[in-house]
Structure 1
Amino acid sequence: MDELSPIFAIAVAAELAGMHPQTLRQYDRLGLVSPTRTAGKSRRYSMRDVVQLREIARLGAEGLNLEGIRRILELENQVVALQARVRELEGALADELLNRPGRRVFAAAESGDVVPLRAGTRAQRNTQVVVWRPLTRE
């Protein structure tokens, strides 16, 4: 069981959130909190839904209207989804780097071009010594 498991009936969720069940039905109609439905069409709330209901109550107590609350919740849900996507991409990148180590190593050539290098190799450097002598006019 995790925070997304739909386990609470509407009466229990309302009690946990400190609200009336009719308020939860209204929030469902408005799309503020959308519980899952059973085969018999009854609502089942998760712990995350209850936390979201408490957040709605807190924001309402601070004076926000339901449309403002809906927008805040929408943005918070987008943040959560984007954070999950970032973690997914970080994992994919880490896997890629582990599976193909050293394939993305580059150096700059004397001409300024980008030169790919194999893992464990160093860029060839020109090690010639050039002595500069000023021209003397005799």
Structure 2
Amino acid sequence: MDSDRRDHLPGSSQAVYAISVAAELAGVGVQTLRLYEQHGLVTPARSAGGTRRYSGDDLARLERIVALVSQGINLAGIARILELEDANTALTAERDRLRARHEANVSGDGRAAEAKPKVRDRQA
């Protein structure tokens, strides 16, 4: 999917695309999307009637899958790559959250920064 098409997509987490539209946007067939779902590579939301609904996030993931397939990586390999990328994203977010909390404790509070020299003075 090219970036021009992606720029016009609704909210990234909003599941609005039917399978035929998602397949066209991703440049693959409907059966290919079903195969990717069977292998756990993408998990579209379901409407009340049970039809698949793809989000902008799903389309971005499909773009990544299509790129990996074009590099000759099999579906099991793609599943592992996506799993590791998802874990890396989660870890990066957690690191950023902890860093922000640490910086707020040290610089925003002031007391934490002042307490360290006092403890060192007592140990000397």
TM-score bracket, shorter-length normalisation = 0.7 to 0.9
More helix by share: 2
Length-normalised TM-score, structure 2 = 0.77
- What's the counterpart of residue 18 of structure 2? 9
CA contact (8 A) 2:15 2:54 kept: yes
CA contact (8 A) 2:42 2:62 kept: yes
More strand by share: 1
**Residue 42 (1) aligns with residue 44 (2):** no
Counterpart residue type for residue 40 of structure 1: G
- What's the counterpart of residue 95 of structure 2? 86
Between 1 and 2, higher relative CO (CA 8 Å, sep ≥ 6) is seen in: 2
- What's the counterpart of residue 74 of structure 1? 83
CA contact (8 A) 2:105 2:112 kept: no
Deviation at 1:21, TM superposition (A): 0.9
**Residue 107 (1) aligns with residue 113 (2):** no
Unaligned runs of 5+ in 2: 1-9
Task: Determine what percentage of the aligned residue pairs are the same residue.
Answer: 39
- What's the counterpart of residue 123 of structure 1? none
Length-normalised TM-score, structure 1 = 0.70
Deviation at 1:99, TM superposition (A): 5.1
Unaligned runs of 5+ in 1: 117-138
CA RMSD of aligned residues (A): 2.2
- What's the counterpart of residue 6 of structure 2? none
